[in-house]
Structure formats: C-alpha cells, structure tokens
Amino acid sequence: MGTPDPRVVTIEGRRALVVERHPPLPPSLELLLEGGADQTGRVWRPMRLVVRRPLRLLGTRAGCSQQDHRLADWLEGFHSGSDAIVRYLRLLVCQDCGAVCVRDRSFDTLTQLPTGGRQPLRKDHVIAWYSGARRHQRLYS
C-alpha cells in the first residue's frame, strides 16, 4: 500500500497542494473543554481555563455559510495535546453560528533559534476549527 496521491486544488487561479493536518486536539469542542474519552478510547484532559468571556450567539447568518465569521474572544487557557505538549490556547467564537477558531498563543520554546537577548516570541497560529450551527440548526459534521 503506497502513499496517497497528493491533492491539488485551484484557489483564485493558483494551484495549491492540500496537506491534511491532524492537530493535537480532541475531535470535538466538548472533549476539549470537559475532557473524557473519544470514539477510539483515547482519554483527553479538559482545558484549564484562565480567561472566560460571556458567550452570546445571535443565530447563524448567510455569511457563516461562506466562511465569513464575526469572531470574538471567548476562552483562553492551557491544554495538553496528543503530542504531550502543553499549549496556551485562545478560542474565538463566531457571534452568530458558534464556530470556534482555536489559536496557539504559546511562547516559542525552540532552543535552536537565537533570541539575541530578547524574550521568546509568542506564537499566534490557527491550529484548529470546531464548526458551529448552520441555518435551521443543522450541525456541521
């Protein structure tokens, strides 16, 4: 059994290679926040919250189906991923449909990079999305 053929798509007239990533996070938002076992039996520890802002959802809008979300800060805290690395995560939520963008806001701890006497840099990378509700309360799968 060989490796699958690379998948190439065209985005705005340019060819792009699609690389599937498997983030070190649980498969559902519920498991990220509350912990527990997933369908494979893997046990996930809950996220340790540091900051919690009120969650107010207004209901999905047409822009949400076009991936145009109005994101607002929601939760921040620490989570130990499947790779055993503890990350500081910032969760932003769509104020309409409830889709959640997960950003890794940890400090870069690569010892190979010279800091020149400066403090380590803070990362700010999107590492996962948890989908929200569609119109008529249908859920993304």
Q: Which amino acid is at 26?
A: P
Please enumerate in sequence order all residues whose Cβ is within 8 A of that of 38, keeping only pairs 6 or more positions apart, or say none. Answer: 26, 27, 28, 31, 44
**What is the predicted pLDDT for the residue at 139?**
44
**What is the predicted pLDDT for the residue at 117?**
59
Residue ranges in the chain modelled with pLDDT below 50: 1, 137-141
**What is the predicted pLDDT for the residue at 15?**
87
**What is the predicted pLDDT for the residue at 120?**
67
Q: CA quadruple 15, 19, 129, 125: dihedral positive or negative?
A: negative
Sorted by where each begins, the domain ranges of the chain are: 48-109+119-137
Read off the pTM: 0.74
**What is the predicted pLDDT for the residue at 59?**
84
pLDDT (tens digit, 9 = 90+) per residue, 89-130? Answer: 999 999 998 999 999 998 776 655 565 656 667 778 889 998
